[in-house]
Copies of this chain bind each other. A is one copy, B any other.
């Protein structure tokens, strides 16, 4: 029924429990011959360590750290909220979480924060990363301490993390394009795009995916070059107002970045028919914009799913188990009708339910 125990393995291998234990927890001082015998017995019997018993015995606690960009960005606040909410429920399983705030998009700050992690001994770390060589040193140090590292939302240098949890931004851009194209119903049009900065990899990828699909499948549409906004609502507001007044042929708007409060404000001030509008990340203000009809679509990366996966993955890595089945994350499309009911900006309120 419930599988073989380590004693069974020891018996089958013809060694003592102590030796089998030495092999499994590689404590050293074991002859190669014995190691082989035990490994063979493990395979033959299909032994899997009873993690519950093991954790009970060694009073295991999973001390996890999440490095999240600080600042007013609503998406990261939502991410933070999901982390704390889930962490509270996982405290039953001896999981403790520390959220480390990192100055947004600063390589230096991230570098230092990762470096400091080595001091406290965390058992696993999830990082909203950057693709930058400067991060290699502290990451390698962390790894050397045997700490599993995963990239979250935005990837780290590939060689130095065990996994990445986040969406494929090219796919996100393609999805946005597909629906924008559909909404034109074979009419002609021009799509004004906005981005925070083009050296932000996710922004560039979304834009690329968007362009690819429009070019391939919607020849009557043209994609206007992105206006760069630094994700600043004020900049976005001004830019959107100007663009809309200057170019009456704009039939759609797509912002690959953040700062949507400004964009929504600009759209809400349009008197006649507004352009078809697509933005990213479902947060309180984008949700409201869907409901009030100022925006048509929100492409979301489901931070709740990402967070829950991050926890599961880190635990699996720490226990050195194999991972549960996890199909690739795909961007989710929200319209005003399939909005989740929960509040997105207030973690405390969400708890109450």
Contact = CB atoms under 8 A, between A and B. Distances in A.
A341 B327 contact: yes
Contacts of A342: 327-328
Interface string A158-183: 00000000000001101101110011
Contacts of A52: 52-53, 55-56, 93
Interface stretch (A18-26, A69-77, A330-338): A330-338
A13 to B, nearest CB: 22
Contact of A175 (B1, B213, B338): B338
A8 to B, nearest CB: 15
A94 B182 CA distance: 48
Interface in A328-353: 328, 330-342, 350, 353
A342 B328 CA distance: 8
A51 B92 contact: yes
Contact of A56 (B56, B332, B336): B56
A337 B175 contact: yes
Contact of A336 (B59, B178, B304, B328): B178
B328 A178 contact: no
A266 interface: no
Contacts of A51: 92
A64 to B, nearest CB: 15
Which residue of A59, A337, A350 has the most chain B CB atoms within 10 A of its CB atom?
A337
A33 interface: no
Contacts of A209: 337
Given A92-B48, A182-B183, A340 B350 contact: no
Contact of A325 (B53, B337, B350): B350
Interface in A269-291: 276
